[in-house]
Every structure is written in structure tokens, then in C-alpha cells.
Homo-oligomer: A and B are copies of this chain.
Amino acid sequence: MNQHRPDTSLADAMPQRLGDQGFHRVGILHHPKKPESIQLGQQIAAFLRAHGLEEIWFESAWESEAVLEHLPNVDLLITLGGDGTLLRAARLGARHNVPMLGVKMGRLGFLAEIFPDDWQAPLTRMLQGSYWVEQRLMVRVRLERSPAEGAPRASLCEYDALNDVVLSRGGLARVVRISVQLDGGYLTTYTCDGLIVSTATGSTGYALAVGGPILPPELRNILVIPIAPHLSMDRAVVLSEGTEIRMRAYSDHEAMLTVDGQFVVEVREGDEIMVTGSPHLARFIRMRDRSYFYRTLMNKLRGPSTQEGE
């Protein structure tokens, strides 16, 4: 386990201090399609070794099983890639409480902390203990299916997601009807392209694109918002992390469940999808002050041509 002691240099944060015991074992995840991420990973490893850290391993972020083997014995996970790489790392690392540090190597990037052209100064601050840990809610989704007609449903699979879980139509059919229950009480039935169940982290992703509100990262709320609702409920609903959201899809064709925009599970007729707050939190190492989020947000909202002042 990591140990964190107070850092007196960041007055407005809940700071954490790197002691002798912290960050001994570091994993570095590169993006398999970005050679520059391997190169940068090696530079960072050399830098860390020069500062006395010895146990450093490398892995492709896509090699889930290899990464999972390492995770029980790691104090810090450095990811080199876009937000997608951090989403992967979060799903893998959450149950081990591993803090993550993202180096942004893609176009988007609400989650990364460090930029490829300026990584030594922030890493040095981190090693000196000038950092804080941002904890973000994840959602847990469970797909329940009946083994046979009339038999009770059983859990078919279960995942944690840092951004969102989307229940949507499959390829062709445009419309799916999705009924929703909140803590056992009926909410409504949406006629739509799909329904997004998002965390605060996901509120700047797909949910934002369909008109959702912004939730700052530390907020432990769950957001439910439809994609292209047709003559049905069109507002986002903000819920507490403990709410149990239960969905069923009705469609002429198949429906599908997408987790963090990264993988898809087919949903059959009669299946139920249950989402609620995950017991695991994603943990991010931050050296910037706490208002970094709104600065990044306002820069992104200004559109692609605006340069990122971060």
C-alpha cells in the first residue's frame, strides 16, 4: 500500500507527501500504436532511476493480462497515451487502489496531468512530495440474463467504468425504447438512440455531446442522459452515487452495451442492465492546483482551433 503524508507546499489542496516508502514500484504503460510513447517511457524510466527508483516495468496498455499480474505490487502507474489509455488503466487498476499519472499523447485529454514537452519539472515536484491525489467515482455495471425462459436472471458480466456505460441500439435500427427504474421506482421509458449513464469524469465526454451538464471530477454523482430522445424525456437526471439504475431495452433489433467507449456487450431481449456507484475509486496524481479542471474545460469548450494554454 502507498503511504501519503501531508505536503505543506500546496495550501489549498489536500496534499500528499512522498516519503521513503512511496512510489518504489512504478509501472509504465505505453500505447502500442504510438512508438513515441515507448521512447518517452524509456526517458521517464531513466529519469526515475536517476532519482533512485529501481523497480520499474513496461507494458503495452492493451495487454490487460500482463498488466493485471503486475498490479498487486505497484505504487504508481504512469500511462502514455490519450484518455483512452487512462480509462483502460483505471478499469484495471481501480481494485488495487493504484494511483495513476497520465502523460498526454493524444488530441483529447481531460485526464492527463503531464505533457510530453514538459514532464521533468512536474515529475520532480511529485518526487519531492508536492502532489495531491484526486479520487474519482467509477460506475459498476452488471448485465443480468435469464438462462431460460421464465428462469430468474443471473449476473452475466460485471465491469467498472470511469467515464460511462451506454445502452444503445445496434447498427441499423434507429430507435430503441429503454425503460428505467431508479431504486425500484419507475422513472420513464425513453425512445432514443441510447441512454448514457455517466460519472462526473464522463460528463465531459459523450454526455457533454448530448447536452449534459458539467460535473467537476470530485463529484460523486451519476448522470443519466438520453441520446437523441424522440418525443420523450430529454433532460439529464443527476443522481447520488448510491442510486440503483435498472434499464431494459426494447427493440426490433439487437441492443448493445458499451463500456467506456472501449468494448461492447450484446444485449438480448429480456436482459436487464444494472448500474450503480462502484466501490472502487480511480486515483490520479496531480501536481497542478485544484482549479486545473475548469481551466482545461474552458479551453476545450472554446473549440479545437484555440490553443491549449495548460
A304 and B172 form a contact (CB under 8 A): no
* CB interface residues, A 169-227, toward B, < 8 Å: 170-172, 174, 182-188, 191-193, 205-206, 208-216, 218-219, 221, 223, 225, 227
Bound: A299/B261 CA distance, A? 30
A233 and B298 form a contact (CB under 8 A): yes
* Closest 3 pairs between A and B when the two form their complex, measured CB to CB: A185-B291, A213-B236, A306-B306
Per-residue contact bits, chain A 291-309, to B (CB 8 Å; 1 contact, 0 not): 1001110111111111111
A290 on the interface (CB 8 Å rule)? yes
- Least Cβ distance of A71 to chain B in Å? 27
Chain B residue nearest to A215 in the complex (CB): B238
Knowing A12-B184, A302-B302, A306-B302 are in contact, say whether A239-B216 is a contact too (CB < 8 A). yes
Bound: A192/B210 CA distance, A? 10
A237 on the interface (CB 8 Å rule)? yes
- Least Cβ distance of A265 to chain B in Å? 12
Knowing A174-B261, A213-B237, A213-B238 are in contact, say whether A206-B228 is a contact too (CB < 8 A). yes
Contact partners of A57 in chain B: CB under 8 A? none
* CB interface residues, A 7-35, toward B, < 8 Å: 12
Partner of A212, one of B213, B215, B227: B213
A115 on the interface (CB 8 Å rule)? yes
- Least Cβ distance of A216 to chain B in Å? 7
Per-residue contact bits, chain A 33-72, to B (CB 8 Å; 1 contact, 0 not): 0000000000000000000000000000000000000000
